[in-house]
Structure 1
Amino acid sequence: MTGKHEKPDFAKHLVNLASQRLGTMVLEVSDDFFAEAKRMLQDSEPVFLPDEYDDHGKWMDGWESRRRRKPGHDSTVIQLGARGVIRGVEIDTRHFTGNYPPQASLQGVDPHSGFNNSSEKWEELIPVSDLGPDQQHYFPINNNRAFSHLRLNIFPDGGIARLRVYGEPLPRWSEIDGSQMLELSSIALGGRIAGYNDAHYGMPWVILTPGRGINMGDGWETRRRREPGHDWILVRLGATAEIEKIEVDTAHFKGNYPDRCSIQASKMGIETDDELALAADAWSELLAPQKLSMDHQHFYQKQQLTKLGPVNCVRLNIFPDGGISRLRIYGRPQF
């Protein structure tokens, strides 16, 4: 586990598989008397409202169970919005000071048919580990299996502000019609951010989520560039494909949208994200530089794209800087 002020690499650009915006749901909870378990799945940062109370007592921004007066512990089961390989977990107790759980553990399972908590063989991802008050706790996960359901245990009771599960989405392609043109950059189909040169504002991975952005904070935005050059972001597609359509959306970016954009692409192997970033300068151009407009969906059809053949990685370049709400890359998967 890393300390309070050390944000590990997995929390900087990997997808939060437990995000509510991806459809993560609470399936079961032993007790959430003071605060509903689903609150800990919010993407927003937890807040403390000193004078806010409800019928059950002090309102808290997270999941909080009542004081346990008998043996045992509390737990909640969630279904991840995106099945995937988990690389790290954040258990956040911010604002829980006299009511945080002193310990927690996490288990996972990936059922191939209907989920049944009582009959599942849960696998340990985080052993029983100490927690502190009012802080973010990061746990690296060394397990290459994919999981779709998690069980968070707290000992014996208390409150968790946020649970975030960082990883690489991995869909079950056997259940997907690959003959159709699909949004292969989407998290649901295994797309993920592999790197970027700057992300001063927003959360980079949200450019791959469904729907249009709800505000200017719902996207990827770089700082104002004061030196020559341009900014960029790397995306690993969920499958290899010949690209047929691209969407670049600048929703809500008005005084800070990029002047232009271009896209490079390549078919890569098992390179690390750092190796991809080093190689991307030499990738071929898929989309030549295009003028962008504020708060607008820009669509580029197959005839506007360079014929590169099958690719599985793209780099979006923005000139010189600014914000992008969504990026969508479409093609027919090739396996």
Structure 2
Amino acid sequence: MTDFTELPDLASRALAGSVVAANDEFFAARENLIQPGPPAVVPTFGHKGKEYDGWETRRRREPGVDWAIVRLGVPGVIHGVVVDTAHFLGNYPPFVSVEAASVDGYPSAAELADLHWEPIVARSPAAGGSVNSYPVTDPRDWTHVRLTLHPDGGVARFRVHGTPAPDPRFLTGTIDLAALENGGGLVSCSDAFYGSAEKMILPGRAHDMGEGWENARRRDGGNDWAVLRLAGAGVVRHVELDTSYFLGNAPGWVQLSGCADLDAGEWFDLVPKQRSQPDTRHRYLVAEDRPVTHVRLDVYPDGGIARLRVWGELTS
């Protein structure tokens, strides 16, 4: 069985997630929960005490719990959550629980409080300074999750790993068939030493080299590749291969292939192998009109790609 942490983090700020409400954030802001990077050590003290890269509530002096509500960047089926208490040692929550809800539109924090919330992680022990992982077996789609601390404390990061289930009403016309937010995903890749190939299909443009896919230097005469699942079967119209911020480590050549049946492995060119340039957004028209369900990006012999866009129309 695949480790659920290998699935996309549906709550991540990189995927347009948001912490829409919290009952308390006295020591550290709730927004830190969904930052895409790992939690950092903050060596400073402020007026309220030790500062943390995470969410921290005050010490409770009365019965109750603390909570934060996260709107997922993309609705989806949740396969597991991670409550990371890195650097919270004497001030972590001893127990946590997670609930989920599904709602259309963009409700306010007050409206969210009145929703019916379904438990997906029962009240469970949590350890300090640890990556606490909790699998989820509920097969339903969700749009929001609520993390509850019993009774209070600090959490560095909250990850909600799952399978995107975007609203099909927004998948009409020409769309980015490979985009994670549209239901695309990473199937496999040859190497992701410096950065996951999944980063190529995140929303927006990369802001630095760390926001793209970068493999290790090849010494064996082969080449690196990544296979991506599209949002559905579709006809590709044009492709963007963006090497922005990759200057001394961009691929020398690139190639994009497609197939309609991954098991059969019958690949054909969408973008034939050709020279690429560092720090450049390359755009290619695609003449092939056969529908594809998967694409394979080959980089020769290795090198970094900031973003991959596969523009086209769904056929099913």
TM-score (norm. length: structure 2): 0.93
**Contact 2:186/2:229 (<8 A) preserved:** yes
The corresponding residue for 2:306 is 325
Alignment partner of 2:46 out of 54, 58, 71: 54
Aligned residue for 1:123? 118
1:187 aligns with 2:180: yes
Per-residue CA deviations over 1:9-48 (Å, capped at 9, x if unaligned) read 3323x22111112221122211110001111111111111
Report the Cα distance in structure 2 between the residues aligned to 1:202 and 1:313, rounded to whole angstroms.
21
1:70 corresponds in structure 2 to 62
Alignment match of 2:5 (pick from 1, 11, 15): 11
Report % sequence identity: 37
Is 1:292 aligned to 2:247, yes or no? no
Partner of 1:168: helix, strand, or coil? strand
Alpha-carbon distance between aligned partners in 1 of 2:277 and 2:269, rounded to the nearest angstrom: 21
Q: Which residue of 1 aligns with 2:293?
A: 312
Say how many residue pairs are matched.
312
Matched, 1:79 2:60: no
Shift of 1:117: 2.3
- Measure how far apart 1:107 and its partner are: 1.0
Equivalent position to 1:23, from 16, 20, 31: 16
Cα 1:140–1:315 change in 2 (3 A) is farther
What's the counterpart of residue 245 of structure 2? 252
1:133 aligns with 2:131: no
Q: Which amino acid aligns with 1:205?
A: E
Residue 224 (structure 1) aligned with residue 208 (structure 2)? no
The alpha-carbon deviation at position 280 of structure 1 amounts to 7.6
SS state of the match for residue 27, structure 2?
coil
1:302 match = 286
Task: Structure 1 unaligned segments of length 5 or more: list them.
Answer: 1-7, 269-275
Counterpart of 1:163 in structure 2 is 158
**C-alpha contact 2:23 2:66 (8 A) present in aligned 1:** yes
1:200-219 matches, cutoff 5 A: 200-219=193-212
* Helix, strand or coil at the partner of 1:49: coil
Residues 1:119 and 1:267: Cα distance change in structure 2 (over 3 Å): farther
- Say whether the 8 Å CA contact 2:259–2:265 is kept in structure 1: no
Structure 1 counterpart of 2:4, one-letter code: F
1:211 is displaced (CA, Å) by 2.2
Answer yes or no: is 1:108 the counterpart of 2:94: no
Q: What amino acid maps onto 1:210 in structure 2?
A: P
CA distance in 2, matches of 1:280, 1:260: 26
Structure 2 contact 27–57 (Cα < 8 Å) conserved: yes
Bigger CA drift: 151-160 or 207-216?
Answer: 207-216
| Residue in 2 that maps onto 1:4 | none
Map Cα deviations across residues 117-154 of structure 1 (whole Å, 9 max, x no partner).
Answer: 23322122211111111011222222322111000011
CA contact (8 A) 1:280 1:315 kept: no
Q: 87-96 vs 283-292, which deviates more? A: 283-292
Per-residue deviation, 1:111: 1.2
Change in 2 beyond 3 A, CA 1:280/1:212? farther
SS in 2 for 1:40: helix
Paired residues of 1:15 and 1:193 also in contact (CA < 8 A): no
Distance in 2 (alpha carbons) for counterparts of 1:64 and 1:245: 46
Offset of 1:113 from its aligned partner?
4.7
**C-alpha deviation, 1:106, in angstroms:** 0.9
- How far residue 247 of structure 1 moved from its aligned partner, in angstroms, is 0.5
Query: How far has the Cα of 1:60 moved from its partner?
Result: 0.5
Tell me if structure 2 keeps the 8 A contact 1:240–1:267. Answer: yes
Deviation of the 1:327 alpha carbon: 0.4
Relative to structure 1, is the Cα distance of residues 177 and 285 closer, same or farther in structure 2, using a 3 angstrom cutoff?
closer
Structure 2 CA distance for partners of 1:29 and 1:280, relative to 1, 3 Å = farther
Give 1:281 deviation, angstroms.
5.2
CA distance in 1, matches of 2:194, 2:54: 24
CA contact (8 A) 1:251 1:297 kept: yes
RMSD of equivalent CA atoms: 1.7
